[in-house]
Amino acid sequence: MKKLYLLTALVFITGLAKSQNLIETDRTWSVVECVGSCITNIYKFDGDTIINSTTYQKLWHTTDSTLTYWYYYGAFREEANGKVYQNGAQGDELLYDFGLVVNEEFNTEITGCEISEIVTLVDTVTLLNGEQRKRINFSYILEPWIEGIGSLTGLINVGSENCAFDVHYILNCFTDQGILKYKNSEFDGCYVITTGIQENTSGTWKLSPNPFTDNAEFTFPYHNNYHYELQIIDLYGRIIESIIDINSGEIMIQDQNLNSGIYLFRLMENDQLRFAGKMIKR
């Protein structure tokens, strides 16, 4: 009888541990990303890849509300000790450590953003379906982590509050096997899009193609008496390219300075934000 009890307990614990993993298929993260205007980016894991003899899970993303067209974002892996890594330009970057305890430091560098925070509280939170999950709170980062879900700024936006400027990320919805388990009450639905600056109803504001492989063209209503600047910004809010020699309503964006990924762009008109959006470089 004792052997049967121990076996049952072991099976239960094993199943519970698996359910707390972050990297699993049949899950989606809906993240509202705002830079003037707001859009929703949706993420999911599907399939694997091998890089330098190490197996990673593929992360995909889309801004398509129908979830039809997905684009490869990057490679991630998770260890049994609760650490999650993303494969960056210089190798693995520590994204999460769910084994942290109170007063322990979390130190990492993610896409050039240096993060050093202290855990102030480890508690539990109840999800929409009644599940209890561990939550890790930090001294400065305004983004508690929920085990199996990740940061409340979004799956890939750990530390963005440290390095991002004028860019805000909010985890809106998390689903697991089609079940909604987390929902931010700030928004009505799981797919949010607001222009906030310029209603794009006439088709005069347009980035095409988007996503793009080589070059993209941004068209907008141009006025001779105004000064324009087009800024391209990475997901940590850093301006990585600025186009200032603009003398028409057509701006060519070339890819020589851009790696594959997601970028924000904004058009400044006489040093005032006029239009903002997102572009995807394949």
Per-residue pLDDT at 5 exceeds 50: no
Residue 126: which of 135, 117, 118 has the closest Cα?
A: 135
Q: Which CATH superfamily is domain 206-281 in?
A: Immunoglobulins (2.60.40.10)
Find out whether 83 and 94 touch, Cβ atoms under 8 Å: yes
Amino acid making up residue 111: T
Question: Chain-centre distance of CA 253, in angstroms?
Answer: 23
DSSP H or E run through 127: none
- DSSP-based three-state secondary structure for 145: strand
Cα 164 to chain centroid, rounded: 12
Question: Where do the domains of the chain lie?
Answer: 21-183, 206-281
pLDDT reported for residue 203: 52
Q: Count Cβ neighbours within 10 Å for each residue of 97-110 and write b for 16 or more, e otherwise.
A: bbebeeeeebebeb
Both structure tokens of 140: 């400065």
Mean pLDDT of 132-161: 91
Q: Is the pLDDT of residue 104 over 60?
A: yes
Amino acid letter for position 227: H
Count the Cβ atoms, other than its own, within 10 Å of residue 142: 12
Express each pLDDT in 259-271 by its tens digit: 777 787 888 888 8
Q: Which residues pair with 40 in a beta bridge?
A: 32
Say yes or no to pLDDT of 54 above 70: yes
Q: Which residue has the tokens 């509280």?
A: 121
- Give me Rg for the CA atoms of the chain: 21
> Is residue 9 predicted with pLDDT exceeding 50?
no
- Lowest mean pLDDT across 56-60, 131-135, 252-256: 252-256
Which tokens go with 91? 């190798």
| Separation of alpha carbons 86 and 47, rounded Å | 15
Location of structure tokens 């492989």: 213
- How much of the chain, in percent, has pLDDT values that exceed 90? 48
Range in 11-15, 139-143, 154-158 the model is least confident about: 11-15
**80 versus 254: which is more confidently predicted?**
80
Residue 177 identity (one-letter amino acid)? Q
Q: With a cut of 70, say whether residue 138 has pLDDT above it.
A: yes
Q: What pLDDT is attached to residue 63? A: 80
Model confidence at 145, in pLDDT bands (50, 70, 90)?
Answer: very high
Taken in order 72, 73, 79, 80, the sign of the CA dihedral is: negative
**What is the C-alpha separation between 253 and 243, in angstroms, rounded?**
9
Q: Encode pLDDT of 212-255 as tens digits.
A: 888 899 999 899 989 999 988 876 667 888 999 899 999 999 87
Other Cβ atoms closer than 10 A to 114: 11
Report phi then psi at 127, rounded to 5: -80, 175
Residue 173's nearest CA partner among 192, 194, 190, 156 is 190
Mean pLDDT of the chain: 84
* Maximum average pLDDT range among 75-89, 105-119, 184-198: 75-89
In the chain, % of residues over pLDDT 70:
86
Q: 3-state DSSP: the chain helix, strand, coil percent, rounded to 5?
A: 10, 50, 40
Q: What is the mean pLDDT of residues 196-221?
A: 72
The string of pLDDT tens digits covering residues 147-164 is 999 999 999 999 877 776
